[in-house]
Structure 1
Amino acid sequence: MIQSELVARQRRILIALVLLLIATIFAGMGIGTASVSYGRIFPTLLGHGSFKDEFVLFSIRLPRMLVTLLSGMALALSGSILQAVTRNDLADPGIIGINSGAGVAVAVFFLHFPIDAGSFAYLLPLVGFAGGFLAAALIYILSYSRSEGLQPIKLVLTGIGCSMALSGLMIFIISSSDRQKYEFIAKWLAGNIWGTDWPFISALAPWLVILIPYVLYKSGVLNLLALSDHVAVGIGVRLQRERLGLLLAAVALASAAVSVTGAIAFIGLMTPHIAKSMVGPRHQMYIPVSLLLGGWLLMVADVIGHNIVGPEGVPAGIMVALIGAPYFAYLLLKK
């Protein structure tokens, strides 16, 4: 039974995070090359703004911020699942190869298949999922032992090796492409947010609408998987079935996110740990906090990076890595 004090604390944190998200979105709407007065934001949102203000807010800034919000939530949830299933605090979809698998699939699709503008945004998450699934399946097979089942430590180490191999394959694939497509893939690898139109939000949102309730429903199973295989089996959990279903959910979330935002790492690594430090290790408590933290962190990284220098700014993936790499080293030394 979860203590009422802890539940109340979680609610206060969630309310604070929602308010922080709203404040960040409001601040982000007024920052940029084309300035929009903060006094004009609410009238514009209500349909009483000028053509310029409406174009800047509804065609440029709001879609971009919502894409980063949804993608950050998806990556945070994926990381929470992977850390429980592998029982490894260093697990992250970017570190163990899922993002790289999705990236290779997106690159091949973008470079070698005819692209229809109307369906492009909706096909990308599916293409990314196919690549991420193949990478995850390979990692799973290499990490599985008939005598011991899935070995969590081996899964993480195998994933890191596969991630490096897939990154090399990505460079080989794009080396023969034309200049324009090469520049696009290079920006994608740096974590440059590029899917900034409303169709990308429509393509990304269904994955979250379906998988967030599923993962919250399985939070009790995640609690058991995070302990040990013997405990889970002893209580009656169908270990391989549950683990496979949750791994598929993690792959789908991460692949859908990176297919739109580019190669973003460390969101799935950091946010579960920060959330656990706030409300404890129970998944039903920290996953909602991790979701909002992941969305907020990626949104802030993109707003700052997009406006910090020059017309194109610094990719959000680099901004997140500036925070995430030292944090990864800290966790590595600590664990």
Structure 2
Amino acid sequence: MIDSRLLKKQRMIILILVSLIVSTILISMGIGYSSLSYDRIIPTLFGSGTFKEEFVLFSVRLPRIIITLLAGMALALSGAILQSITRNDLADPGIIGINSGAGVAIAIFFLFFPTDVGSFTYLLPVVAFIGAFITVIFIYLFSYDKRTGLQPIKLVLTGVGFAMALSGLMVVIISSTERAKVNFIAKWLAGNIWGTDWPFIWALLPWLILLIPFTLYKANRLNLLGLSEPVAIGVGLSIKKERIILLVTAVALAASAVSVTGGIAFIGLMAPHMAKALVGPRNQLFIPIAILIGGWLLLLADTVGRNLVDPDGIPAGIMVALIGAPYFMFLLLRK
């Protein structure tokens, strides 16, 4: 039974986060290379803007804002799942190599399997998922011990090793390709939000619509997996089965996000920690907050980054890393 005071606190925090997201969206709509007057945003949203205003808002700003928000939510939820099933506060899809596996698959697909524009958009999340899933299988196998089960610290170290190896493989793959394609992969590696059109939203949205409710449904099992294995087994939980199902869920969320945003790390690390600090470690309470924090953090990073330097700005992945890397070191030293 969850304390009613905690539930009330959770609702209040959710309300504050929704307000922050809406405020950031409004700010993001108005600033950029082609500025849009704030008093024209509402009329333009309701179809009373000029051709230029409607183009800037509906074809440039709004798709990027929605993609960034959805991707941040997916990465935060993926990190929350990984931290629970591995019982490791340092777990994050970017840090443990999931994003790198997705990146290698996307690079191979983009460079060597040309497809038409229409199918390319919708195939990307699937290709990223396959690459990330193969990677996480190897990471899991190297981290698992028959006597003691999954080794949380070993998982992070193995994941970091795989991430470095896959980054090296990416360099080898792109070293002999044409310049235009190399530029795309380089931007992907930097975490540049490149999928900034409506089809990318429709490609990403179904994954979130399916997997967010599924994860909330599995919240109690995540609570048990966060405890010691003897306790989880004692209450009748099939640890291996649940861990694999939830691991696949985390991989699918991360892969679908990075397929359109590039290699962004640390969102999945920071958002769950912030949420737990606010409402405690119960997954029913902190997961909705972590999802909103993740979406807001990536949206804020992209909004600030794209307006710092003309004309292309700083990639969101670099902006997040400037905050996330010191935070990761802090956690590493503390643990």
Equivalent residue number for residue 31 of structure 2: 31
Please tell me the residue identity of whatever aligns with 2:80.
S
Please tell me the residue identity of whatever aligns with 1:228.
S
CA-to-aligned-CA distance 1:187-209 (integer Å, 9 cap, x gap): 10000000000000000000000
CA-to-aligned-CA distance 1:266-288 (integer Å, 9 cap, x gap): 00000100000111110000000
Please tell me the residue identity of whatever aligns with 2:234.
G
Compute the displacement of 1:61 (Å).
0.3
Equivalent residue number for residue 222 of structure 2: 222
Query: Conserved in 2, the CA contact under 8 Å of 1:92 and 1:266?
Result: yes
Question: Gapped runs of 5+ residues in structure 2?
Answer: none
**RMSD between aligned residues:** 0.7
Equivalent residue number for residue 249 of structure 2: 249
Equivalent residue number for residue 58 of structure 2: 58
Equivalent residue number for residue 93 of structure 2: 93
Please tell me the residue identity of whatever aligns with 2:324.
G
CA-to-aligned-CA distance 1:82-134 (integer Å, 9 cap, x gap): 00111111100000000000000000000001121011110000000000000
Compute the displacement of 1:19 (Å).
1.0
CA-to-aligned-CA distance 1:281-311 (integer Å, 9 cap, x gap): 1000000000000000000100110111110
CA-to-aligned-CA distance 1:162-193 (integer Å, 9 cap, x gap): 11111110111011110000011001000000
Equivalent residue number for residue 267 of structure 2: 267
**Mapped pair 1:141 → 2:141:** yes
Please tell me the residue identity of whatever aligns with 1:259.
S
How do residues 81-230 of structure 1 correspond to structure 2 at under 5 angstroms?
81-230=81-230
Compute the displacement of 1:145 (Å).
2.1
Counterpart Cα distance in 2 of 1:120 and 1:57: 25
Counterpart Cα distance in 2 of 1:194 and 1:84: 31
Counterpart Cα distance in 1 of 2:219 and 2:174: 40
Query: Conserved in 2, the CA contact under 8 Å of 1:86 and 1:156?
Result: no
Counterpart Cα distance in 2 of 1:269 and 1:99: 13
Please tell me the residue identity of whatever aligns with 2:37.
S
Equivalent residue number for residue 324 of structure 1: 324
Please tell me the residue identity of whatever aligns with 1:295.
G
Compute the displacement of 1:148 (Å).
2.3
CA-to-aligned-CA distance 1:198-250 (integer Å, 9 cap, x gap): 00000000000000011101111111111111110000000000000000000
Equivalent residue number for residue 79 of structure 2: 79
Counterpart Cα distance in 2 of 1:328 and 1:181: 32
Equivalent residue number for residue 2 of structure 1: 2
Counterpart Cα distance in 2 of 1:175 and 1:284: 46
Query: Conserved in 2, the CA contact under 8 Å of 1:216 and 1:284?
Result: yes
Counterpart Cα distance in 2 of 1:114 and 1:191: 23
CA-to-aligned-CA distance 1:135-179 (integer Å, 9 cap, x gap): 001111111222222222221211111111111101110111100
Counterpart Cα distance in 1 of 2:150 and 2:5: 37
Compute the displacement of 1:62 (Å).
0.4
Counterpart Cα distance in 2 of 1:131 and 1:259: 11
Identity of aligned residues (%): 66
Query: Conserved in 2, the CA contact under 8 Å of 1:84 and 1:223?
Result: yes
Equivalent residue number for residue 231 of structure 1: 231
Counterpart Cα distance in 2 of 1:334 and 1:235: 31
Counterpart Cα distance in 1 of 2:328 and 2:149: 27
Aligned with 1:119: secondary structure?
A: helix
Provide the aligned length of Structure 1 versus Structure 2.
335
Please tell me the residue identity of whatever aligns with 1:206.
P
Q: Give TM-score, length-normalised by structure 1.
A: 0.99
Please tell me the residue identity of whatever aligns with 1:330.
F
Please tell me the residue identity of whatever aligns with 1:333.
L
